[in-house]
């Protein structure tokens, strides 16, 4: 039983809507720009691939929780419309989301001088509760679209979107449902999170040329670029999709995951955990590595990730791995949403038989020995692999297939 994709939704710094994003990616445009949403004076990194909203006010930007909800709502609505479905949706919502909490604008608005005062002032603020509970964002999305059961809200850091796809296909395979929404939405770009990632020295600091900062697989890569964004897929049993006459856009053929036991922020030096995630996904799809015609890389543009991913690619695919590109070069690292967005990118690439580029590839790292697709190009292929390797050691890969 194959699992068909009948709807795709996407929002990134490149725009709203899957087709607008795809067009911009094929043109090699960058969505990375200086941050205007808040004051970045003195910060080590002052740019991002942000999705700003009309409701962002000076000193009071929309919260991570609410922006995630807005982006998630947009992509799920887009995917459902394409699938010819509407609320109530007859299956579960599986979604990767960032951890959220009350932020400084709201804390300071409560006008308390200490925590006991804050607790007192926040008592009974049901609006804040619905916004900042860990289950709040997914609950509001689930109720908006009338999805069934408990929304499965997953956080495996940068692998969350892929974990959501995996949980959705497992629920369909177990026979719990005929269809599911698999999504990811991310909006962690707020001052405290930006500062925290900076303190871990994970971010690019190329402040003088923001659009050049995300440069996966180059010698001069110096960290990832934080990004807002969301992606959604409507997944169905193939026979379910055919029976209702839905257009099939492609397939999720398999998924695989492996936890790394080595270190919180670094892969096992021999790459075994990420190799295991990739090979499990390919095996789950019932394929051999040689059947993979394109890899959408995790490709964060950190020195460590890109080296490990290249190592793993050679170990798995041999001397001549398939073309491997990182669309994070254009849309930055959308963290919890990356797996959902990049699976959608793979499906569009398969549909049009076009590979999206890794831009900013001016000084390719010769040690990596990869075809990183510096410019979009035509390519004949039937299956693609999407990699997501999470901070904290949670690695997930997903195999996407072309529509017949």
Partner 1 sequence: MTRRPVHVLGLGIASSLGDGAEAHRGWRDAVPVLDEARFAPHPLHPLAPLPFDKTIPRRESRQMENWQRLGTHAAGLAIADAALSERVAEMDLVVAAGGGERDAALDAQILATRPDEAGLHAALMNGLRPTLFLAQLSNLLAGSISIVHGVGGSSRTLMGEEIAGAEAMRMAWARVAAGSSTLALAGGAFLAERPEILLLHAMGGRLHRGPWVPMDEREGLVLGSAAAFLLLGPGPGMVQLTHVATDQGPPEASEARLDALLIDAPPARPGAIEIWAGPFGTPRPGLRLADQFGHTVEAAFPLAVALGAMMLRDGAPQIRIAMRGAFRGEAVAVLEPSE
53 touching partner 1, by CB under 8 A: no
Q: In terms of Cα–Cα distance, which of 401, 389, 119, 67 is closest to 259?
A: 389
90 touching partner 1, by CB under 8 A: no
99 touching partner 1, by CB under 8 A: yes
157 touching partner 1, by CB under 8 A: yes
Residue range at the interface with partner 1 (CB under 8 A); choices 23-31, 132-140, 206-214, 228-236: 132-140
Please, which residue, 180 or 273, has the CB nearer to partner 1?
273
Task: Write the binding mask 363 to 392 for partner 1: x where contact by CB under 8 A, - elsewhere.
Answer: ---------------------------xxx
Please, which residue, 59 or 380, has the CB nearer to partner 1?
59
Tell me which residues are annotated as active site.
Answer: 158, 298, 333
Which residue in this structure is represented by tokens 């909203």? 53
266 touching partner 1, by CB under 8 A: no
Rounded (10°) angle between helices 64-83 and 136-145: 30
271 touching partner 1, by CB under 8 A: no
In the bound complex, what is the minimum distance in angstroms from residue 90's beta carbon to partner 1? Answer: 14
1 touching partner 1, by CB under 8 A: no
290-323 CB burial, b ≥16 within 10 A, e <16: ebbbbbbbbbbbbeebbbbbbbbbbbbbeeebbb
Q: In terms of Cα–Cα distance, which of 345, 356, 358, 361 is closest to 398?
A: 345
In the bound complex, what is the minimum distance in angstroms from residue 105's beta carbon to partner 1? Answer: 9
In the bound complex, what is the minimum distance in angstroms from residue 321's beta carbon to partner 1? Answer: 25
> Rounded to a whole number, what is the distance in angstroms from the first to the last CA of the chain?
15
Residue range at the interface with partner 1 (CB under 8 A); choices 32-40, 245-253, 304-312, 370-378: 32-40
Q: Is the dihedral of CA 45, 47, 48, 51 positive or negative?
A: positive
Q: What's the length of the chain?
A: 404
* Rounded distance between C-alpha atoms, residue 292 and residue 338, angstroms: 20
Residue range at the interface with partner 1 (CB under 8 A); choices 152-160, 214-222, 231-239, 350-358: 152-160
Q: Is the dihedral of CA 336, 341, 344, 349 positive or negative?
A: negative
Task: Show contacts with partner 1 in window 198-227 (CB under 8 A).
Answer: 198-200
Rounded (10°) angle between helices 18-26 and 338-352: 70
In the bound complex, what is the minimum distance in angstroms from residue 173's beta carbon to partner 1? Answer: 8
42 touching partner 1, by CB under 8 A: yes
- Which of 30, 45, 155, 329: binder of partner 1 (CB under 8 A)? 155
Tally of CB atoms within 10 A around 135: 13
* Rounded distance between C-alpha atoms, residue 157 and residue 162, angstroms: 10
User: How many chain residues are in contact with partner 1, going by CB under 8 A?
Assistant: 79
């Amino acid at each position: 039983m194959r699992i068909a994709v009948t709807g795709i939704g996407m929002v990134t710094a490149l725009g709203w809507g899957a087709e607008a994003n795809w067009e911009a990616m094929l043109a090699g445009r960058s969505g990375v720009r200086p941050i205007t949403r808040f004051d970045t004076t003195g910060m080590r990194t002052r740019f991002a691939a942000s999705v700003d909203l009309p409701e962002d006010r000076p000193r009071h930007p929309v919260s991570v929780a609410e922006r995630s909800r807005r982006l998630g709502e947009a992509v799920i609505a887009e995917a459902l419309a394409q699938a010819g479905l509407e609320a109530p949706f007859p299956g579960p919502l599986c979604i990767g989301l960032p951890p959220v909490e009350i932020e400084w604008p709201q804390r300071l608005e409560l006008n308390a001088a200490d925590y006991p005062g804050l607790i007192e002032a926040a008592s009974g603020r049901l609006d804040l509760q619905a916004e900042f509970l860990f289950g709040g964002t997914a609950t509001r999305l689930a109720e908006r679209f009338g999805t069934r059961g408990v929304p499965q809200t997953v956080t495996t850091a940068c692998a969350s979107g892929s974990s959501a796809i995996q949980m959705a296909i497992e629920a369909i395979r177990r026979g719990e449902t005929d269809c599911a929404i698999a999504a990811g939405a991310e909006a962690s770009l707020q001052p405290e999170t930006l500062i925290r990632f900076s303190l871990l020295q994970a971010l690019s600091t190329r402040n003088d040329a923001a659009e050049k900062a995300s440069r996966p697989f180059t010698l001069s890569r110096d960290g990832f670029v934080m990004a807002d964004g969301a992606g959604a897929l409507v997944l169905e049993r193939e026979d379910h999709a055919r029976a209702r006459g839905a257009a099939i856009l492609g397939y999720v053929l398999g998924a695989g995951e492996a936890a790394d036991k080595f270190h919180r922020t670094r892969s096992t030096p021999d790459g075994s955990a990420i190799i295991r995630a990739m090979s499990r996904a390919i095996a789950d799809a019932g394929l051999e590595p040689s059947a993979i015609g394109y890899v959408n890389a995790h490709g964060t543009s950190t020195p460590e990730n890109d080296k490990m991913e290249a190592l793993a690619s050679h170990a798995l695919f041999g001397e001549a791995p398939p073309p491997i590109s990182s669309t994070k070069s254009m849309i930055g690292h959308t963290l919890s949403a990356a797996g959902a967005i990049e699976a959608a990118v793979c499906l569009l690439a398969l549909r049009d038989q076009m590979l999206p580029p890794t831009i900013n590839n001016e000084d390719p790292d010769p040690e990596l020995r990869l075809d990183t697709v510096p410019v979009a190009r035509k390519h004949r292929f039937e299956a693609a692999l999407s990699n997501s390797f999470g901070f904290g050691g949670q690695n997930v890969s997903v195999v996407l297939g072309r529509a017949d």
